[in-house]
Amino acid sequence: MKILVTGGAGFLGSNLCGRLVRDQGNYVYCLDNMQTGRMENIRELMDKPNFQFIEHDIVEPIELKVDQIYNAACPASPPAYQADPVHTLKTSVFGMLNMLELARKNDATVLQFSTSEVYGDAQVHPQPETYWGNVNPDGIRSCYDEGKRAAETLCFDYHREYGVKVKVIRIFNTYGPKMDPKDGRVISNFVNQALRGEDLTVYGDGKQTRSFCYVDDLIEGIYRMMNSTDEVTGPVNLGNPGEFTMLELAEEVLRQTGSRSKLVHKELPKDDPKQRRPDITKAKQLLGWEPKVALREGLAKTIEYYRGLMGRA
């Protein structure tokens, strides 16, 4: 099949490209505007005969002959998506429109990388797909949260109005190799601060919780979702239901790195969710999927990756 991965040089996109290129018979177009993507993430794929990199911004239309579209294009960490909030919103809305039109012309299936951020500062815990969320429409995170919500709306309207084959996944916190060390999210922050011997920055009291899914587990769920029957449109939560406080995460990072770094508390960012844990009942039922990698194991692999980056610096 001819497969397009937008945001293909980013953290999730590059890991997905690697999986798809290894499947013989696929030709993979990796599209990225390099706003947050990194060539290092796809360097090992560049000489593969079934892989092609295209530098392009999905805010602008593109013409390709494809069978499947994985739409992963959009900055995903708060520092990255808040750096240019208008463009972030354009990427979610205009980019989604362009990918849906491309799917419509090609009779292709489009899978949208949505996010647990559509639930906002959730008042239901854990979060099932039936929960409509508690999102601030005019806060500093809104460009991302509301952009992803609008993109979901476009997917289902194109499905109802034009019969476009769509699939929507809601991704919960994911980590692992190829995540930018300057990403700004908690695991990359903690690990790199610990490896450098710096104080670990804990926002708020550190009792807020997150659920962390190792990237290989997530990619498997994404792959199964795309290749499920057309009737499985989603949204489907993909994430690890194991829940940890930021303090528990910090302690585990310090233990595994052997760092003597201290914890420094700073003010909690505006609209930062207090709790986040997916209800993955639908993923289990529809995809036969659940995560396999425990946080301790995944952290060890992630720490090894970041140590390697530091060794090459």
| Annotated domain spans of the chain | 2-172+215-239+278-292
Q: Which two tokens stand for residue 206?
A: 């550190």
Residue 205 has pLDDT above 90, yes or no: yes
Q: How far apart are CA 164 and CA 100, in angstroms?
A: 7
Residue 123 pLDDT > 90: yes
The whole-angstrom distance between residue 308's C-alpha and the CA centroid of its chain comes to: 23
Global pTM value: 0.95
Output the pLDDT for position 313: 60
Q: Are 142 and 92 in contact (CB under 8 A)?
A: no
Tokens of 147: 């952009």
What mean pLDDT do residues 291-296 have?
97
- Nearest CA-CA partner of 13 in 59, 67, 53: 53
Residues 6+ apart with CB under 8 A from 277: 125, 126, 127, 172, 209, 211, 239, 241, 243
In the chain, the amino acid numbered 71 is N
Q: Which parts of 33-164 are beta strand (E)?
A: 51-55, 68-71, 109-115
**Longest CA span, the chain:** 58
CATH superfamily of 2-172+215-239+278-292: NAD(P)-binding Rossmann-like Domain (3.40.50.720)
Of 27, 81, 119, 144, the catalytic one is 144
Neighbours of 112 (CB within 10 A): 26
Active site residue 144: yes
Q: Is a pLDDT exceeding 80 seen at residue 162?
A: yes
Question: Is the separation of the CB atoms in 252 and 191 below 8 Å?
Answer: no
**Cβ distance 264 to 200 under 8 Å?**
yes
Residue 54: CB atoms within 10 A of its CB come to 14
pLDDT tens digit sequence for 20-35: 999 878 999 999 999 9
pLDDT digits (tens, 9 = 90+) for 176-192: 999 999 888 899 999 99
Which token pair is 131? 């929960």
Residues 227, 257 contacting (CB under 8 angstroms) = no
pLDDT value at residue 311: 80
* Vertex 296 angle, CA 168 and 313, to 5°: 85
Residue 43 has pLDDT above 80, yes or no: yes
**Rounded to 10 degrees, what is the CA torsion of 256, 262, 266, 272?**
10
User: What is the rounded distance in angstroms from the CA atom of residue 78 to the CA atom of residue 145?
Assistant: 10
pLDDT, tens digit, 9 for 90 and up, residues 78-101: 999 999 999 999 999 999 999 999
Residues 6+ away with beta carbon under 8 Å from 34: 9, 55
Per residue in 252-277, pLDDT (tens digit) is 999 999 999 999 999 988 877 888 89
